[in-house]
Structure 1
């Protein structure tokens, strides 16, 4: 054993879902000890660590919203990392912060100039910071947001409410939107959602049920739901059953080149190694819409996840310790002239999009 260590922190809930025996085995096979960190104790007292692997999203979100205990904890973590700049952090806290705010990361996606020519987009969106209906209608018009809309809390982590959504069909019901929130034009996608999970340059795609097609209406009441109720692999929600007039034998085909383009942008513009995102295919244009991004999602069904994770950690360390050429965050050549991983790899195999599952945490 080389004496290198990976310090890990995540919530009790995520810890319980993780196969620690497999993670320890993978760490050992790559020459690392695994240290489960305690945020209540000084990191210096818990041994030297070379890699900090974490899911601090909920704590960062709580700290940013004024929780004093969470703020002190995050401050201690940030001070420790500032004092130990040689530690490889998966993923950097400032990069993670970007995905805590839906308006922020939607804006990054919307501003990506390469997407339009590739047939990739994020649906029109706007942020409500007031309960003034007239003002919110005006904001929607300015931003090109059209009914029906999905209303989502602006803060994407930190509480159960972050995953509570409302589908609104008309101006009359806009009062149910509770600011601060993001409203986004709903894209009809024939009740099929594609979940993409990536670890560095390795990715896996799963198909999931999703909301059926909906249309603007003055008669329909808002529909309240959580993403877990509708989009898990085993979901049986009536919201996913297509109406007879929407049923079709024509299946929209996921384009993997578009998926790769999205991964490259998330890695380059947001700087994440561990992330997942949701894509739906517009049933009229066939364009691919990115509707959500998640930090360090649950990788339950990602083949050999821990091995890929350790490979990715070692790639990241090598990158930070060398002057190797990097193009779009993909290794082209290492310092010895060897090609490491030129391009993105679908570790699930092409077109293996069966409905099976991971619960996004």
Structure 2
């Protein structure tokens, strides 16, 4: 018998949107995981997470208060189970400002790597943006990309506009 036959199997639950499941949970991944003593377990977000274990690890790309509550409850009862991505780590990447602030604060030697954060301005609405358009043009120049602040994976967070000049823009 091989040594893998006697090794502990690890149960890794995954809670992903359907598109991510289609893109990532392929038969080849399931086979590879199985060969390394890992069982990939689909998590049904409509059912309590705590009832879908035991799990050694939870990989998730779901958001919302109910899911956050389920993860916190699961973690409190299973402190040794890994949660990927930890809730406190992903909060900052759901907002484009805080996400880019993290990158801005990195101390990267310019000689070894090039890492640049795009210049940005934040406006609460298009009316305020238009009132400040001269400042906008002077600081950023055209063309511009206008994006929503929230980057939470929702359909709305992916809407972007190319702004070619003061009167012309196009949704992409």
Normalising by structure 2, we get a TM-score of 0.79
Distance 1:121 1:4 in 2: 40
Distance 1:137 1:83 in 2: 52
Q: CA distance change for structure 1 residues 107 and 138 in 2, over 3 Å: closer, same or farther?
A: farther
Q: CA distance change for structure 1 residues 154 and 46 in 2, over 3 Å: closer, same or farther?
A: same
Native 8 Å contact 1:168 1:223 kept in 2: yes
Equivalent residue number for residue 300 of structure 1: none
Equivalent residue number for residue 46 of structure 2: 40
Q: CA distance change for structure 1 residues 54 and 133 in 2, over 3 Å: closer, same or farther?
A: closer
Distance 2:158 2:135 in 1: 23
Distance 1:123 1:47 in 2: 43
Distance 1:46 1:134 in 2: 51
Q: CA deviation at 1:119?
A: 3.5
- CA-to-aligned-CA distance 1:115-136 (integer Å, 9 cap, x gap): 6554421221111113324554
Distance 1:98 1:154 in 2: 12
Question: Do structure 1's residue 86 and structure 2's residue 76 form an aligned pair?
Answer: no
- Counterpart secondary structure, 2:91: helix
Q: Unpaired runs of 5+ in structure 1?
A: 64-70, 174-220, 226-361
Distance 1:45 1:134 in 2: 52
Distance 2:118 2:78 in 1: 41
Question: Do structure 1's residue 73 and structure 2's residue 73 form an aligned pair?
Answer: no
Distance 1:4 1:29 in 2: 11
| Alignment map for 1:306-325 (pairs within 5 Å) | none
Q: CA deviation at 1:27?
A: 1.8
Distance 2:76 2:137 in 1: 44
Native 8 Å contact 2:68 2:87 kept in 1: no
Which is strand-richer, 1 or 2?
1
Distance 1:126 1:133 in 2: 9
Q: CA distance change for structure 1 residues 43 and 149 in 2, over 3 Å: closer, same or farther?
A: same
Question: Do structure 1's residue 97 and structure 2's residue 91 form an aligned pair?
Answer: yes
Normalising by structure 1, we get a TM-score of 0.41
Runs of 4+ in 1 over 3 A off after TM superposition: 115-119, 133-142
Distance 1:4 1:21 in 2: 18
Distance 1:113 1:47 in 2: 41
RMSD: 2.5
Aligned with residue 127 of structure 1, among 115, 122, 126: 122
